[in-house]
């Protein structure tokens, strides 16, 4: 079944650690996105990619980085986690075409202590 | 500037009553409009979209939305609310500026359906 996956779902980690949040989709979508969302609050686009080897920063400045080496995989990395990075991170993908509707993964809730 | 507004932070409705969650937009060119729902501790689920055609769009879980060009609105509606509809609802519009095709998101409206 075509879907979008995120791991881990929950992560508690200490300050200064390096972390990578995984996102994979099996829908063959060329566009992928990372959003940051505090609980019950608005979405902030932090990174997006329109294809392999294409990455762009989003509307909200973020200390994270992303890579897109394969179409289906769009990991997000924090080199040194801080408490201010505590949030929910949502990955999404969409197919090229007229509608641009996005499909979301279940999210990773990150807590940095 | 292109934008989406959800004027209500929270909407409360009794189970069985009709519900409306409001959305207005400002975008150049033809608007592509979307509604998403987010249940607690989950990602967003696509509900419905308006691209062209009939102004009344039907989507998942019995929801529908009415596109009104003159009022630049795209309100989400359901004839009879369920307690399980309680969630956070986001309206979005596709950005039409240049080659930018990102979605512009509203701030979200929390819907509470009371038994």
Distance from CA of B105 to the nearest CA of A (A): 7
> Would you state the pLDDT for residue A61?
80
Distance from CA of A84 to the nearest CA of B (A): 19
Q: How many structural domains compose chain A? A: 1
Q: Confidence band (pLDDT; 50, 70, 90) for A100? A: confident
Residues in chain A within 8 Å Cβ distance of B36: 104
Q: Does the pLDDT at position A96 exceed 80?
A: no
- Who among B49, B94, B102 is closest to A48 (CB)? B102
> Would you state the pLDDT for residue B101?
67
Residues 15-54 of A with CB under 8 A from B: 33, 40-43, 45, 48
How far apart (Å, rounded) are the C-alpha atoms in residues A66 and A70? 12
Mean pLDDT on B97-106: 75
CATH number of domain containing A13: 2.60.40.10
Q: Do B94 and A100 touch (CB under 8 A)?
A: yes
> Would you state the pLDDT for residue A55?
95
Residues in chain A within 8 Å Cβ distance of B102: 33, 45, 48, 58
B92 in Cβ contact with B34 (< 8 Å): yes
B57 in Cβ contact with B41 (< 8 Å): no
Distance from CA of B43 to the nearest CA of A (A): 4
List pLDDT tens digits, range A40-66: 888 999 999 999 999 999 888 888 999
Mean pLDDT on B72-96: 94
List pLDDT tens digits, range A5-45: 999 999 999 999 999 999 999 998 999 999 999 988 889 99
Q: Do B103 and A102 touch (CB under 8 A)?
A: yes
How far apart (Å, rounded) are the C-alpha atoms in residues B50 and B62? 16
How far apart (Å, rounded) are the C-alpha atoms in residues B19 and B74? 14
Between β-strands A108-112 and A10-13, what pairing exists: parallel, antiparallel or unpaired?
parallel
Closest to B73 in 3D by CA, of B50, B48, B43, B100: B50
> Would you state the pLDDT for residue B99?
59
> Would you state the pLDDT for residue B97?
63
Please give the angle made by the CA atoms of A107, B63 and B1, to the nearest 5 degrees: 65
Domain extent for A16: 4-112
- Who among A45, A90, A99 is closest to B102 (CB)? A45
> Would you state the pLDDT for residue B98?
61
Distance from CA of B108 to the nearest CA of A (A): 6
Domains of chain B and any CATH numbers: 3-114 (2.60.40.10)
List pLDDT tens digits, range B26-73: 988 888 999 999 998 788 999 999 988 899 999 999 999 999 999 999
Q: Do B41 and A109 touch (CB under 8 A)?
A: yes
From residue A77, how far is each of A13, A17, A47, A85, A86 by CA, in Å? 14, 11, 11, 12, 14
């Amino acid at each position: 079944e075509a879907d979008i996956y995120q791991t881990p779902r929950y992560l508690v980690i200490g300050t200064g650690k390096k972390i990578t949040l995984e996102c994979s989709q099996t829908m063959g979508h060329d566009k992928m996105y990372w959003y940051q969302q505090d609980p019950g609050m608005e979405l902030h686009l932090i990174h997006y990619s329109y294809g392999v080897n294409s990455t762009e920063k989003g509307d909200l400045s973020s200390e994270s980085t992303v890579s897109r080496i394969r179409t289906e995989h769009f990991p997000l990395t924090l080199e040194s986690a801080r408490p201010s990075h505590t949030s929910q991170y949502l990955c999404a993908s969409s197919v090229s075409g007229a509608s641009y509707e996005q499909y979301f993964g279940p999210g990773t809730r990150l807590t940095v202590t | 500037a292109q934008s989406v507004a959800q004027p209500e932070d929270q909407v409360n409705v009794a189970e069985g009553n009709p519900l409306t969650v409001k959305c207005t937009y400002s975008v150049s060119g033809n608007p592509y409009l979307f509604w998403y729902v987010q249940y607690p501790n989950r990602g967003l689920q696509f509900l419905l979209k308006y691209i062209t055609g009939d102004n009344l769009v039907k989507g998942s879980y019995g929801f529908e939305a009415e596109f009104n060009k003159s009022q630049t609105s795209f309100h989400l509606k359901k004839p009879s609310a369920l307690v399980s509809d309680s969630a956070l609802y986001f309206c979005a519009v596709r950005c039409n500026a240049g080659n930018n095709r990102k979605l512009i998101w509203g701030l979200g409206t929390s819907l509470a359906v009371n038994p």
